[in-house]
Amino acid sequence: MRYLQLLLLTITLACFSTIELKAQDKYEFAAISLYRASSYQVIEISSSNGDFEEIKFDKAEFRGSLGNSNITPLLSRVQKMTIDGWEVISIYGNHPLVSYYLKRKLK
- Residue 75 falls inside a structural domain: yes
What pTM, to 2 d.p., does this model score?
0.70
> Per the domain annotation, does 6 fall within a domain?
no
57 assigned to some structural domain: yes
Average pLDDT over residues 35-40: 76
Phi then psi dihedrals of residue 54, to 5 deg? -125, 130
Q: In this structure, is residue 74 part of a structural domain?
A: yes
In degrees and rounded to multiples of 5, residue 104 shows phi and psi of -150, 145
What does the alpha-carbon distance between residue 21 and residue 67 come to, in Å, rounded to a whole number? 50
pLDDT of residue 24: 76
Provide the CATH number for the domain around residue 41. Answer: 3.30.1410
Give the range of the structural domain holding residue 92, as residue numbers without chain letter. Answer: 27-105
Total of domains in the chain:
1
pLDDT at site 60:
66
For 48, 59, 63, 101, the CA distances from 21, given in Å and listed in that order, are: 21, 48, 50, 25
State pLDDT tens for residues 41-83.
889 999 999 999 998 877 666 655 455 567 888 889 999 999 9
Specify if 90 maps to a domain: yes
Q: What pLDDT is stored for residue 21 in this prediction?
A: 57
Work out the mean pLDDT of the chain and round it to a whole number.
80
